[in-house]
Structure 1
Amino acid sequence: MFTGIVQELGEVCLLATRGNGLSLGVQSSSEFAHELVSGDSVAVDGVCLTVVRRDGNRIFFDVIPETLACTTIGERSVGDKVNLEGSLRMGDSMGGHLVSGHVLGTAEIVAIEENRYYFHVVENLAPYLFEKGFIAVDGASLTIVSVDGAVFSVGLIPETLQRTTLGYKREKARVNIEIETSTKIQVDTLRRLMKL
């Protein structure tokens, strides 16, 4: 589990085909990497990945085809910035909302107006969008400001723009989306009950 509070920006240092998947390497700071060992979970742009190896401040992950199919990880290039967050530990503060790192789909930035960003989600995610609801965008815990069909907006403060990859994003950029778990459960339950 994660909090949706991005701890730092990493930089992609390796992308290599591995079978049907991908080997991903990310350069991080020594502060972030020093306690990581094989088997630890790290959210990379909101995607929960397992550390397979660490070499100094470089962290390596294997990305399977299923992950590539529903996230933007496969679209990254060497040198790209990525959001990083280590997994939640007992006693850690809960600054955002509970995030699993299980991305449900992607969205495209359709407009940027000063500090307001507008995203168009893949159609199957639209029923889960609610004003004032939590959403994770590339792993960053955000609050939805407005909803219009499959388009939602968020307001981003300068701190968020500086500490996450969102400050580097432009219109037409794609991002990873995770719906807050309790929202998804409630909507799915209601939809099932309505079919009875």
Structure 2
Amino acid sequence: MTATAHRPTSITPLLIPLLVGGLVAIALGVFGRVHTPTGFAVGPAGFSAALPMKVWLTTGAFVLAAVQVITAMSMWGRLGVSIPPAVHRWSGRLAFLLTIPVAFHCLYALGLQYDVPRVLAHSLLGCFFYGLFTTKMLVLPKRGTPGWTLPVIGGLAFTALVCLWITSSFWFFTTIGFKV
């Protein structure tokens, strides 16, 4: 049977991954809100301060997320050129790893902030992104999911990361400049 011969229409296999992803997003938001921010979390090794570190790591994740979209399109036969699936897997792994110190610093040092609309949007998008990422990782090994599952969840994760980049790195570059 080919991959396109039978597309299940049931979303039942998605319920647990969606529930767990939603719980991750909510747990991060609750932790970020109730945790007393320390003001410091991660040493900015190689950077002048924590903010430039976060900006450049997020920019790296943003670039790798674009690689994710291109390689996913190749894997789904949308480009007419074949890119090895390993490029997709490794660009995703590296993008995720780049977000870890950023998220840790944001949650531990700053918490979920709501006094500035841009920062509130950024905080909520961060929680949403990690919820989507969790959902995507739980859906990957599942068989019997609708054909639109990975493109939609992956597209939402990409969109969330782009919006995170806009509300952080783009803001930094246009307001403060290109500091390292």
* Higher RCO (C-alpha 8 Å, min separation 6): 2
TM-score (norm 1): 0.25
Structure with larger Rg: 2
